[in-house]
A = this chain, B = another copy of it.
Amino acid sequence: MSEEFLKVAHAARDAAAELAPLPRAPKDRALRVMADALVAATETIVEANALDVAKARESGTSEAMIDRLRLDAGRIEAIAEAVRQIADLPDPVGEVARGSTLPNGLELRQVRVPLGVIGIIYEGRPNVTVDAAALCLKSGNAVMLRGSSSAYESNTALVKVMQEALEDTEVPSGAVQLVPGLTRDSVKELMRARGLVDVLIPRGGASLINSVVEESTVPVIETGVGNCHVYVDAEADLDLALTILLNAKVQRPSVCNAAETLLVHADVAGTFVPLAMAALAGAGVTVHGDPAFVAQGAVEATDDDYYAEYLSLDIAAKVVGSLDEAVAHIRKYGSAHTEAIVTRSQGAARRFVALVDSAAVAVNASTRFTDGGEFGFGAEIGISTQKLHARGPMGLPELTSTKWIYTGDGHIRS
């Protein structure tokens, strides 16, 4: 590992040890100071951001992507406001998860504690830099941020402002660190920093996440790949199915909880397939379907379509012979994010919920509700699609571990 990386990692580790025992009040004060400092530094941040924007434009980046990258006074104010909202959330640290007095009189408590140092590898918008830092600090963790190289100047400026702001607070300024370097090497260093970094959370596309999972010796929480299914059951209310399908696919197609595959029970396919085709076409959606859908004007689907996370106005579609066939399809092709069933049958809903092995299962509701904000968490660091530690939307408690404490007066084992 490079000396530069080790310096930053050790600084984060030291800061984590100092930050972990801090109670809520000083952490909230620090977050508010940070928010104010970001607004006060608007000019500096916008200047740094302009360098990234110019570089992106030179390299022929699309205007849509450049817009995602751009920071202005309004956006910085919104970023700062999000930090203030995180300050308002309850502190998960110190929460007693379980507790009892054992038969021998030992008092046993399981208490939430910070994870330590969290590494975040992310693509896209620079607001993630601040959002991730704020969530980690609030939960008592130090953070090592490795953003997109396309936002390097912006991220450097944002981290500098946050670190300087923390210098006047009880939160150690080393708790927010930018991983040095622009190349893939710095990602590799983060992935091999076992013992220095407690957990890595990659946020981005499937290829980023897969490469981190493959190469990392630091424990990883996989987030955000969503090939979500809407299954229209034999006993579905078809109007309701259409409403849910359209909302799940069209309301915001670029996000991981948008629907990517439609499965329709054969019993209602005769009526529902033409209805769905018309409605989806009306909303500008390209359907990649099996013969039943192709007969109504869909493009022919390949096996890859059923695996796809389009994140666009495309959807794969298939008629299935039974609920169990729908479940088998989801198990084979899905990413275990969110699957919805539309049905009037209590039995079908119960069976679908029991058999589908995904982070979230929606009954007569859009897949779009799998979201920390919608679940009432107040904030979200990502949506875990793995089974270990956290599954589904991750709020502040998911950024903690626990510690067992037992107190006696000379208790020994016999």
A contact residues vs B (CB 8 Å cutoff):
17, 20-21, 100, 102-103, 106, 108, 110, 113, 115-116, 194, 198-199, 213-214, 217, 219-221, 237, 240, 243-244, 247-248, 251-252, 331, 349, 353-355, 357-366, 368-370, 374-376, 386-389, 391-393, 401-414
Residues of B within 8 A of A414 (CB): 251
- Taking A221-B388, A362-B408, A392-B402 as known contacts, 17 extra A-B pairs with beta carbons closer than 8 A to each other, sorted by chain A number, are A102-B376, A113-B357, A116-B387, A199-B387, A214-B217, A247-B413, A359-B403, A361-B403, A361-B406, A362-B407, A363-B405, A364-B409, A365-B408, A365-B410, A369-B406, A388-B401, A391-B404
Complex contact A406–B21 (CB within 8 A): no
Complex contact B366–A411 (CB within 8 A): yes
**In the complex, what's the smallest C-beta–C-beta distance from A340 to chain B, in angstroms?**
9
Residues of B within 8 A of A374 (CB): 102, 413
Report the Cα distance A84→B188, complex, angstroms. Answer: 48
Residues of B within 8 A of A252 (CB): 413
Report the Cα distance A90→B367, complex, angstroms. Answer: 33
Complex contact A194–B219 (CB within 8 A): no
**In the complex, what's the smallest C-beta–C-beta distance from A336 to chain B, in angstroms?**
10
Report the Cα distance A404→B237, complex, angstroms. Answer: 23
17 contacts between A and B (CB under 8 A): A106-B365, A116-B387, A219-B219, A219-B220, A251-B414, A360-B404, A361-B405, A364-B407, A364-B408, A364-B410, A365-B406, A365-B412, A366-B411, A366-B413, A369-B413, A392-B403, A393-B404
Complex contact B219–A386 (CB within 8 A): yes
**In the complex, what's the smallest C-beta–C-beta distance from A343 to chain B, in angstroms?**
11
Complex contact B411–A251 (CB within 8 A): no
**In the complex, what's the smallest C-beta–C-beta distance from A155 to chain B, in angstroms?**
26
Q: Which residue of B lies closest to A214 (CB)?
A: B217
Residue in contact with A375 in the complex, picked from B108, B243, B407, CB distance below 8 Å: B108
Residues of B within 8 A of A358 (CB): 403
Complex contact B391–A389 (CB within 8 A): no
Q: Which residue of B lies closest to A358 (CB)?
A: B403
Complex contact B413–A251 (CB within 8 A): yes
Residues of B within 8 A of A357 (CB): 17, 20, 113, 116, 403
Report the Cα distance A247→B116, complex, angstroms. Answer: 32
Complex contact B375–A102 (CB within 8 A): yes
Complex contact A213–B194 (CB within 8 A): yes
**In the complex, what's the smallest C-beta–C-beta distance from A347 to chain B, in angstroms?**
13
**In the complex, what's the smallest C-beta–C-beta distance from A392 to chain B, in angstroms?**
5
Query: With contacts A388-B388, A411-B369, A413-B251 known, is A362 near B406, CB below 8 A?
Result: yes
Residue in contact with A412 in the complex, picked from B243, B349, B361, CB distance below 8 Å: B243
Residues of B within 8 A of A393 (CB): 404
Report the Cα distance A17→B332, complex, angstroms. Answer: 12
Q: Which residue of B lies closest to A240 (CB)?
A: B410
**In the complex, what's the smallest C-beta–C-beta distance from A292 to chain B, in angstroms?**
25
Report the Cα distance A406→B368, complex, angstroms. Answer: 11
Query: With contacts A365-B407, A407-B364 known, is A402 near B391, CB below 8 A?
Result: yes
Report the Cα distance A361→B360, complex, angstroms. Answer: 35
**In the complex, what's the smallest C-beta–C-beta distance from A248 to chain B, in angstroms?**
8
Q: Which 3 A-B pairs have the closest CB atoms?
A: A365-B408, A247-B412, A387-B401
**In the complex, what's the smallest C-beta–C-beta distance from A220 to chain B, in angstroms?**
8
Residues of B within 8 A of A237 (CB): 410
Report the Cα distance A375→B314, complex, angstroms. Answer: 52
Report the Cα distance A327→B405, complex, angstroms. Answer: 16
**In the complex, what's the smallest C-beta–C-beta distance from A247 to chain B, in angstroms?**
4
Report the Cα distance A355→B140, complex, angstroms. Answer: 13
